[in-house]
Amino acid sequence: MPANAFYAQSGGVTAVINASAAGVIETARRHRSKIGKVFAGRDGIIGALTEDLIDTDRESASAITALTRTPGGAFGSCRYKLKGLDEHRAQYERLIDVFRAHDIGYFFYNGGNDSADTCLKVSQLSSALGYPLVCVHIPKTVDNDLAGTDNCPGFGSVAKYVATSMREAAFDVASMARTSTTVFVLEVMGRHAGWITAAVGLADDDEHPIPLLLLFPEIAFDEAKFLARVDAMVKTRGYCCIGVSEGLRDADGKFLSESGLRDSFGHAQLGGVGELIAKLTREKLGHKYHFALADYLQRSARHIASKTDLAQAYAVGRAGVRAALDGDNAVMISIVRSSDVPYRWSVGRVPLTRVANREHMVPRGFISRDGFGITAKARAYLQPLIEGEDPPPFRRGLPRFVRLKNIAVVKQLPPFTI
Amino acid sequence: MPANAFYAQSGGVTAVINASAAGVIETARRHRSKIGKVFAGRDGIIGALTEDLIDTDRESASAITALTRTPGGAFGSCRYKLKGLDEHRAQYERLIDVFRAHDIGYFFYNGGNDSADTCLKVSQLSSALGYPLVCVHIPKTVDNDLAGTDNCPGFGSVAKYVATSMREAAFDVASMARTSTTVFVLEVMGRHAGWITAAVGLADDDEHPIPLLLLFPEIAFDEAKFLARVDAMVKTRGYCCIGVSEGLRDADGKFLSESGLRDSFGHAQLGGVGELIAKLTREKLGHKYHFALADYLQRSARHIASKTDLAQAYAVGRAGVRAALDGDNAVMISIVRSSDVPYRWSVGRVPLTRVANREHMVPRGFISRDGFGITAKARAYLQPLIEGEDPPPFRRGLPRFVRLKNIAVVKQLPPFTI
Taking the C-alpha atoms of A94, A100, A105 and A110 in order, what is their torsion angle to the nearest 10 degrees?
-30
Please classify residue B57 by burial: count the beta carbons closer than 10 Å to its beta carbon, then call 0-12 exposed, 13-18 middle and 19+ buried.
middle
- Gap from B346 CA to chain A (nearest CA, Å): 20
Which residues in chain A (27-46) have CB-CB distances under 8 A to chain B? 43, 46
- From CA B242, how far away is CA B293, in angstroms rounded? 12
A13 touching chain B per CB within 8 A: yes
3 state DSSP class of A364: helix
Chain A contact set for B201 (CB, 8 A): none
Query: For testing the chain A interface, which of B42, B140, B151, B303 should be mutated: the one with the most A CBs within 10 Å?
Result: B303
Closest CA to A307 of B398, B172, B302, B163: B398
- Gap from B53 CA to chain A (nearest CA, Å): 15
The reported pLDDT for the residue numbered A267 is: 55
Query: What b-and-e string marks burial along B95-122, b requiring 16 or more CB atoms within 10 Å of the CB?
Result: bbbbbbebebbbbbbbbbbbbbbbbbbb
The reported pLDDT for the residue numbered B82 is: 86
Which positions of A are annotated as active-site residues? Answer: 143
- Contact yes or no for B155/B144 (Cβ under 8 A): yes
Chain B contact set for A294 (CB, 8 A): 292, 294, 297
Give CA angle at A321 (A152, A115), nearest 5°.
45
Of B175, B275, B302, the CB nearest to A168: B302
- From CA B32, how far away is CA B146, in angstroms rounded? 32
- Gap from A331 CA to chain B (nearest CA, Å): 26
Closest CA to A387 of A379, A395, A376: A379
The reported pLDDT for the residue numbered A345 is: 98
Whether B296 sits inside 8 A of A306 (CB atoms) is no
Whether A168 sits inside 8 A of B73 (CB atoms) is no
Which residue of chain A comes nearest to B385, CA vs CA?
Answer: A397
Chain A contact set for B164 (CB, 8 A): 303, 398-399
The reported pLDDT for the residue numbered A82 is: 86
Which residues in chain B (163-182) have CB-CB distances under 8 A to chain A? 163-165, 167-169, 171-176, 178-181
- pLDDT tens for residues B393-417? 999 999 999 999 999 999 999 999 8
Residue A207 has pLDDT above 60, yes or no: yes
First vs last C-alpha separation in chain A: 31
The reported pLDDT for the residue numbered B268 is: 54
Q: How far is CA B223 from the centre of its chain?
A: 30
Which residue of chain A comes nearest to B301, CA vs CA?
Answer: A168
Of B13, B43, B271, the CB nearest to A172: B13
Whether B168 sits inside 8 A of A291 (CB atoms) is no
- pLDDT tens for residues B258-277? 744 444 455 555 558 998 99
- From CA A68, how far away is CA A199, in angstroms rounded? 23
Taking residue A165's Cβ as centre, other Cβ atoms within 10 Å add up to 28
A259 touching chain B per CB within 8 A: no
Chain B contact set for A301 (CB, 8 A): 165, 168
Radius of gyration over every alpha carbon of chain B, rounded to an integer in angstroms: 22
The per-residue pLDDT of chain A, averaged, comes to: 95
Provide the pLDDT confidence category of residue A246 given band limits of 50, 70 and 90: very high
ipTM: 0.96
- Contact yes or no for B346/B52 (Cβ under 8 A): no
Which residues in chain B (184-243) have CB-CB distances under 8 A to chain A? 184, 186, 202-203, 205, 207-208
Give CA angle at A136 (A131, A140), nearest 5°.
145
3 state DSSP class of B133: coil
Whether B398 sits inside 8 A of A203 (CB atoms) is yes
- From CA A362, how far away is CA A364, in angstroms rounded? 6
Taking residue B232's Cβ as centre, other Cβ atoms within 10 Å add up to 12
User: Which range (A104-113, A335-344, B68-77, B272-281) has the least confidence?
Assistant: B272-281
The reported pLDDT for the residue numbered A268 is: 54
The reported pLDDT for the residue numbered A271 is: 53
A49 touching chain B per CB within 8 A: no
Chain A contact set for B184 (CB, 8 A): 296
What's the length of chain B? 418
Whether B13 sits inside 8 A of A175 (CB atoms) is yes
- Contact yes or no for B352/B331 (Cβ under 8 A): yes
Which residue of chain B comes nearest to A10, CA vs CA?
Answer: B176
B262 touching chain A per CB within 8 A: no
Section A271-276 average pLDDT: 83
- Gap from B398 CA to chain A (nearest CA, Å): 6
The reported pLDDT for the residue numbered A260 is: 47
The reported pLDDT for the residue numbered B262 is: 47
Residue A256 has pLDDT above 90, yes or no: no
Which residue of chain B comes nearest to A76, CA vs CA?
Answer: B175
- From CA B104, how far away is CA B94, in angstroms rounded? 13
Which positions of B are annotated as active-site residues? Answer: 143
The reported pLDDT for the residue numbered B183 is: 98
3 state DSSP class of A88: coil
Of A169, A176, A388, the CB nearest to B77: A176
**Cis peptide preceding A153, ω within 30 of 0:** no
B272 touching chain A per CB within 8 A: yes
Q: How far is CA A46 from the centre of its chain?
A: 20
Which residues in chain B (329-368) have CB-CB distances under 8 A to chain A? none
- From CA A220, how far away is CA A249, in angstroms rounded? 6
Could you tell me whether strands A398-399 and B240-245 are parallel, antiparallel, or unpaired per DSSP bridges? unpaired
The reported pLDDT for the residue numbered A296 is: 97
Q: Phi first, then psi: give them for residue A248, nearest 5 degrees.
A: -60, 135
Closest CA to A335 of A123, A83, A23: A23
Report how many helices (DSSP H) and strands (DSSP E) chain B contains, helices first: 12, 13
How many pairs of residues across A and B have Cβ atoms under 8 Å apart? 226
Closest CA to B111 of B120, B102, B99, B103: B120
Section A58-83 average pLDDT: 96
DSSP, res B365: G
Whether A296 sits inside 8 A of B171 (CB atoms) is no
Closest CA to A4 of A46, A54, A43, A45: A54
State the greatest distance between any 2 C-alpha atoms of chain B, in Å, as a whole number.
73
Whether B386 sits inside 8 A of A400 (CB atoms) is no
- Contact yes or no for A112/A141 (Cβ under 8 A): yes
DSSP, res B232: H
In this prediction, the residues of chain B whose per-residue pLDDT falls under 70 are 259-271
Taking residue B358's Cβ as centre, other Cβ atoms within 10 Å add up to 14
Q: Phi first, then psi: give them for residue A237, nearest 5 degrees.
A: -120, 0
The reported pLDDT for the residue numbered B263 is: 45
